Chain A
Amino acid sequence: MAKTPPIRILLAKLGLDTHTVGVTVIAHALRDAGMEVIFSGLKQTPEMVANTAIQEDVDVVGVSSLSAGHMRNIPMLARLLREKGGGDKLLIVGGVIPEEDMPMLLEAGVSKIFTMGADTRDIIAYLQAWRAAQAVAAPAS
């Protein structure tokens, strides 16, 4: 039986938000869980992140957001991913997201939002469940 390839995830920071503790913790935890983690670098535009996601052929894009820019940046990233042929990638968000903003982000194409203080084990479990569901829906040839 072929071994399932590890989940490839791009972790991204958008705009001038340079708070990196959260994204660093997630990156280490996901790597320890066997995933391949790519980091976008800082001060990225949605365009740059969408391009990287496609070039690096990742399965998942995770945006860490600790500024007020999420309502502008994240829907733009979701749209660019679709336009550039990366609409199948799972888009998840973590950070400071007020409850009232969540429906709009989910509507825009975000699959899951983890707010500040989320347990890394829950994030790993979520990604593994998503991968398992995918394997059922489209068994590897």
Chain B
Amino acid sequence: MNEPRPPRDFTPDPAAELEAHEASWRTETRGPYLQRHPERKEAFRTQALKWDIKPLYTPADLEAVGFDYLKDSGFPGEYPFTRGNNPNGNRSQLWTMAQVTGFGRGLEWSKRARYLLDQGLQGLILEYDLPTTNGYDSDNPLVAGEVGRAGMALDSLEDLEQAFDLPFDKLKYLMSVCNAPQPINLAMIIAALEKKGVDPKDFVLHIVNGILIEYTCVGRYIYPPEHGMRIAADCFEYIVRNHPHWQPISIIAAQLQPARANPVQEMAFSISIAMEYIDAMLARGFDIDTIAPYFHFVINVDMDFFEGVCKLRAFRKTWAKLMRERYGATNPAALKLRYMSSPATASLTLQQPLNNIGRLAIMATACALAGPGETMTTPLHDEAHALPAEEAIRVGAAIQHIVAHETGVADTIDPLAGSYYVEALTKKIEDEACAEIDRIKAMGGALKAIEQGYFQRVLGREQYERNRDLETGARKLVGVNHLVAPEEKRELEIWRLDDEMEQTQIEKLRQLRARRDNPAVEAAIERVREAARSGANLVEPCLEAVKLYATHGELCDALRDVFGVHHADSQTVGV
């Protein structure tokens, strides 16, 4: 470092020589060609970021962004992890190939889960219906028609006892997606596992616990954001203290993408959200090296191949730098971005669904090339049309195997590194995302930005602009505004209301309320209110209450009494 090496090259100024050569290429070689063959578009831009794409990238572009191999790329398994988390890439083992499948209706969950476990799966994802995720019991008049529709109806511990009629020697991992009522949901799962005699050490519960994404774009919130954040931190803390090998958080950046976040926004918003959780946990006395390894992300790769590849590379690097430079983390596990990658469902079209198989293969290839994370999931090509057919499930799994075994992309580590375009774009995405992270920090962090509707307004603008690009034809989408099949009949799968299923669930709830020890339930619910007021961790009192069969909606109401409810208006939805 201190002693300058003798120049290896006798060319006086390689940069100047390159520039001169490129200038002559532009005028002598490319210029005359362009005269005869004008370009097919007025401008070439990346799909989501709308950054200009040059016709050619050369070492000069790396020079221009100040690219330094050791500092910016380094080596796999080493800081800053641009070239991947695993020191041997995918050569020792492939990523875990997973698939998210719908579970149909609540009462069938256990049956469906058994079937999947019999197929050799060890992990399951439990999704709940909208009444549950919005904090209502099945008999609330506001939720009529929604019971058991988008997932399992969860009114009381009784429902989970039925759902958990499963061989727990086979089930090793369960992800639960119930953000706003998280402490109640966590308590119910713990109580149900206890009843089944499952040793929590033998099993991993992963709660998504992602309330800030709900306020940003998904909408399944209940309480005002600051209380939502406190609830999330209570659950995080409870797990770290009581079941340290469980997973207390997953930041589903992939949910920002259907809301049209571009790669910079997706990275900056989701990392800022993670920082809000980190700051909350640091304030509770934890240190960064203990909590950072708990963070887990789900990241989509969209159809713009290079935006997707470079986003994943920049994401790993930005996380590592943030943890080391801003938070002072030293634990190697704290510096590594843990994530699951997935082709983007939002890139699939309703029209001509078979085309989606091609799209999925391209996006899965991009994931594999950029580093797929610990796990890759693939959505199914006909998701918009029907319950996943067996063939779609088979094709979805086959796509990952084709990418892994037939293309060779997994056989060397981070093979796109060193491409002038890829490195320049990776660096630019990183720089822009870091600048946006700083802007959000200056606003007071993700929570403040969400309260003021900043994320929502930015996404609203993107939604409008990207739709306009499709309407004006500025962006071509096959089957939608290009190569449209005029006679195509769209077959949408529409859930029909099933009043009988709903009535059965309501009747079950009514009987439970008549049967349980109501004064004891009321006292337990009051203790939840007290904890909410005093700032004590909410999980413990919720655990006592759910064991007495206090219902999900009753406990959500108890927290409404203390926290109030969040009203989303035009500003905070971004409409």
Contacts and interface: CB of A to CB of B under 8 A. Distances in A.
Interface of A: 11, 15-16, 18-21, 23-25, 27-29, 37-39, 41-43, 45, 67-69, 71-72, 96, 98, 116-117, 119-121
Interface of B: 130-131, 134, 142-146, 149, 217-220, 258-260, 350, 460-461, 463-464, 467-468, 471, 480, 492, 494-497, 567-570, 573-575
A25 B464 contact: yes
By CB atoms of chain B within 10 A, which of A24, A28, A98, A119 has the most? A24
Nearest to A98: B494
Given A16-B130, A72-B497, A116-B350, A24 B142 contact: no
Contacts of A42: 219, 568, 573
A71 B218 CA distance: 23
Given A41-B569, A116-B350, 17 more contacts: A16-B130, A16-B134, A20-B217, A21-B258, A24-B463, A24-B573, A25-B467, A27-B460, A28-B460, A28-B461, A29-B464, A39-B573, A39-B575, A45-B142, A67-B145, A69-B145, A121-B471
Contact of B464 (A28, A39, A45): A28
Contacts of A19: 219
Contacts of B219: 18-20, 42
Contacts of B480: 117
A25 B143 CA distance: 26
Interface of chain B, helix or strand or loop or mixed? loop
A39 B471 CA distance: 23
B575 A23 contact: yes
Nearest to A72: B145
Contact of A41 (B130, B217, B258, B568): B568
A20 B495 CA distance: 19
B223 to A, nearest CB: 13
The 8 closest A-B pairs by CB, nearest first: A18-B219, A28-B464, A16-B130, A39-B570, A39-B575, A25-B467, A24-B460, A27-B575
A11 B574 CA distance: 13
Which of B143, B471, B567 has the most chain A CB atoms inside 10 A of its CB?
Answer: B471
10 contacts: A20-B574, A20-B575, A39-B570, A41-B573, A43-B568, A68-B145, A72-B497, A96-B492, A117-B350, A119-B471
Nearest to B133: A16
A27 B574 CA distance: 10
B529 to A, nearest CB: 23
Contacts of A29: 464, 467-468
Nearest to B572: A41
Given A23-B575, A39-B570, A42-B568, A18 B144 contact: no
Contacts of A27: 460, 570, 575
B146 A16 contact: yes
Given A16-B134, A21-B259, A68 B460 contact: no
B142 A15 contact: yes
A21 B569 contact: no
Contacts of B567: 41
Contacts of A16: 130-131, 134, 142-143, 146
